[in-house]
Structure 1
Amino acid sequence: MMLRSFISLRRFAVLAAAVLVSLVPAHAGSERLGMLDTLQPGAWELRLREIGSQPQRICVPNGRTLIQLRHQADACSRLVIGESASEVTVQYTCRGRGYGRTRIRRETAQLVQIDSQGIADGLPFEFSAEARRVGACGT
């Protein structure tokens, strides 16, 4: 019973935060996220920390692409929750498509750790992954 209450409380907190993000203009925080701009563009291999998952290759034109891995093609409003020289946390809302909260920790310009959760196409998602640059896009 206590676990069910905790999960309900967590879902409520995520939903409440998403509502707050939707009230923020799309340009809010757009000048920030400098750490993501230090990541090298190119082909990156994404390794989810899930049993049986296979590595995925994605083309990353800039580090900001890693914020919305479950909403890649969507134009979403973003709010920077936290930022340091090696880590950023961003909450985003994609009207009618869902929302998410992503934390990216930079280890090097070619290696990051990603934690993300939210709702995509009406379904919850949560993942933890390592992303590593493996070359140029298209190779």
Structure 2
Amino acid sequence: NKAGWRKIQFCVKQAAADGLEYFWVDTCCIDKSDPAELSKAINSMFRWYRNVKKCYVYLADVSSMWDVAFWSSKWFNRGWTLQELIVPVIVEFFSQEHKLLGDKKSLETLIHEITQIPIQALRGNLLS
């Protein structure tokens, strides 16, 4: 679909700009219609995200005028958002226009307010 294609085009450009040789797009690379593949992918995601150099969050429903839209982005309601937020060291958020909105560190207070995930967890620290 067009949204998936835009996401891939964005990743091609951003990965090249960041000097990365390859990228992986979860929403495009996992066959959600195959329960066995979906289950295997979900069980492998922690390891995949732990080993990434960067995690790009492409917010297709957030424009460059993002203040309000960021709060209501569908991305925060996805099933594996938790792993994408906590596991990678570097998570960068981009608007539908491919503009960098910030990274996990610079947006941690806002992300915490939206998700209620403790800031210590967003920083990769163990919770006691």
Shorter-chain TM range is: under 0.3
Length-normalised TM-score, structure 1: 0.25
Structure with the greater relative contact order (CA < 8 A, sep ≥ 6): 1 or 2?
1
Higher helix fraction: Structure 1 or Structure 2?
A: 2
Pick the structure with greater CA Rg: 1
Length-normalised TM-score, structure 2: 0.27
